[in-house]
Amino acid sequence: MTTPRDIHAYLAEFEDIPGTRVYTAKRARKGYHLNQFAMSLMKPENRARFKADEAAYLDEWKLTPAQRAAVLARDYNAMLDEGGNIYFMAKLFSTDGQSFLQAVGTMTGMSTEDYQAMMVAGGRSPDGVRSRREQAALAAVADAASEITNTPVPDGAADEERR
Amino acid sequence: MARITAGIATSHIPAVGAAIDNGKTADPYWAPVFAGYDFARAFEREEKPDVVILVYNDHASAFDMTFIPTFAIGCAEEFAPADEGWGPRPVPVVKGHPDLAWHIAQSLILDEFDMTIINAMDVDHGLTVPMSLMFGQPEAWPVRVVPLAVNVVTYPPPSGNRCWQLGEAIARAVESFEEDLNVQIWGTGGMSHQLQGPRAGLINKPWDTAFLDALTADPEMLRHKPHIDYLREAGSEGIELVMWLIMRGALGPSVRELHRFYHVPASNTAVGHIVLRPAPEQATSP
């Protein structure tokens, strides 16, 4: 017996994870040609043709303008937004001679050195990046707290306190 | 009769394969990683398994977006190392065990697991890195391998409970194979890591440690852990850990932990490794 699951609730939960694009069917459909383009780079002859003229090679694939721009710019966050999956995109950064560590680091906004140093120091803590809802709730509490501390205490209330 | 004598789990980080292939295992960065596998290498020399059922995931190497099998079993005579974009790893061709693989495939289908049967497939770092970790750099691999590929890339992957049940069914299938074979089952992938987006680099040592503990202490809890927990706590690629539950399910209700290793980092990832032995069934009181 397996537990019955509601596919809508199952998928909705993934959107609550900050800084993460889960490779759902929706993304897989959007990125089909982008991912298949990347797969073509597993063949040495295709890698050579791609390196010789990237734009011409990309013309052979049914990419959207956004997908094409993301590939040419090596903007991995944008590629993932356009339905790319990291294991497929790995064929592109491998063609560029980049490692997973180098390519993945580019998505964090950190320099390669800082990202590698973070990993050596034990990686990124999950604290504070588990849930958007949790982040929003904490932000609301912080806002409320700063409002309280920044609100001038009315004279009357201050008098009350002194008594 | 064939029997499953041990279960091994390990991460299958591609950079670990590159470190081996490029002779960097003694570098200060890598030496502690490889030291964690000394036990398993000695264990394998001692145990001399005939066949490894190697549970792993293909990382868009053999399977692209045209076919996405949830559970696939490799029944071929041999499997070549895949070219993942930088040329194939310089490791031996992996020899299959078609007789056992087909027997398992048929048994699983009768047991209501609708397997995809693969007769031609290259195998990527998900399979070859664990082989290198356990056996080093031999001319030929000392075991035959039944590759069992699990989709953990396109959502939804199979549930932890389903993986566990598949493991149980694999154990039943192995036990009904007539040839006398020493079989191990390996679960690979994990532990915590996230290879994408602004949250990349996530590592959760307390969660990983609890997962390793639960493999012996509370497997029932692991069975029912929902995917969202893996993603939130162990990063988007931490979902690979459901594959360890196929290995664990195949070992029966209770196991003994023979060895454990945990290290951060290798590349973007927390390295986790455990060696388990099925414990004999508890004698029931008359």
Residue A155 has pLDDT above 70, yes or no: no
Q: How far is CA B54 from CA B50, B72, B187, in A?
A: 13, 11, 7
Residue A4 has pLDDT above 90, yes or no: no
> Is B283 domain-assigned?
no
Q: Which of B196, B208, B271 to mutate to test the interface with A (most CBs of A within 10 A)?
A: B196
Pairing of the two strands B255-266 and B269-278 = antiparallel
Inspect the interface and report whether the beta carbons of B85 and A131 lie closer than 8 Å. Answer: no
Give the angle subtended at the CA of B194 by the CAs of B191 and B195, to the nearest 5°: 120
Tell me the per-residue pLDDT of A20-55, one tens digit each, with 9 for 90 and over. 999 999 999 999 999 999 999 999 999 999 999 999
Inspect the interface and report whether the beta carbons of B204 and A126 lie closer than 8 Å. Answer: yes
Inspect the interface and report whether the beta carbons of A130 and B86 lie closer than 8 Å. Answer: no
Beta bridge partners of B94: B79
- Residue B209 sits at the chain A interface (C-beta within 8 Å): no
- Which residues of chain A are within 8 Å of residue B265 when distances are taken between CB atoms? 119-120, 122-123
> Is B141 domain-assigned?
yes
Is the separation of the CB atoms in A24 and A80 below 8 Å? no
* Catalytic residue of the set B193, B227, B263, B273: B193
- As a whole number of angstroms, the longest Cα–Cα distance in chain A is 86
Q: What's the token pair of residue A132?
A: 């958007």
How many other C-beta atoms lie within 10 A of the C-beta of residue B121?
23
What is the tally of structural domains in chain B?
1
Is the separation of the CB atoms in A75 and A92 below 8 Å? no
Question: Nearest CA to B275 among B29, B40, B38, B16?
Answer: B40
> Is B259 domain-assigned?
yes
* Distance (Å, whole) CA A86 – CA A77: 10
Superfamily of domain A7-124: Dioxygenase LigAB, LigA subunit (1.10.700.10)
Q: Tell me, what DSSP letter sits at residue B228?
A: H
- Residues contacting A14, CB < 8 A, separation 6+: A20, A22, A24, B155, B228, B231
Segment (H or E) for A34: helix A32-40
Q: Which of B70, B86, B121 to mutate to test the interface with A (most CBs of A within 10 A)?
A: B86
Q: How far is CA A146 from CA A129, B153, B201, in A?
A: 22, 43, 31
Q: What's the token pair of residue B69?
A: 């099998």
Residue A144 CA, distance from chain mean position: 29
Q: How far is CA B76 from CA B120, B200, B275, in A?
A: 6, 37, 27
Q: What is the mean pLDDT of each run of 10 residues along chain B (286 residues)?
A: 97 96 97 98 98 97 95 98 90 98 98 98 97 98 98 97 98 97 98 97 98 97 97 98 98 97 97 96 55
Helix, strand, coil percentages in chain B from 3-state DSSP, rounded to 5: 35, 25, 40
What CATH number is attached to the domain comprising B161? 3.40.830.10
Inspect the interface and report whether the beta carbons of A35 and B207 lie closer than 8 Å. Answer: no
pLDDT of residue A158: 47
The ipTM of this complex is: 0.93
Q: What domain range includes position B190?
A: 3-278
> Is B73 domain-assigned?
yes
- When the pLDDT of each residue in chain A is averaged and rounded to a whole number, the result is 91
Please say if B12 is a catalytic residue: no
- Residue B156 sits at the chain A interface (C-beta within 8 Å): yes
Tell me the per-residue pLDDT of A113-150, one tens digit each, with 9 for 90 and over. 999 999 999 999 999 999 999 999 999 999 998 888 77
Is the separation of the CB atoms in B273 and B38 below 8 Å? no
pLDDT of residue B282: 59
Measured between CA atoms, how close is A160 to chain B, in angstroms?
48
* Catalytic residue of the set B59, B103, B125, B273: B125
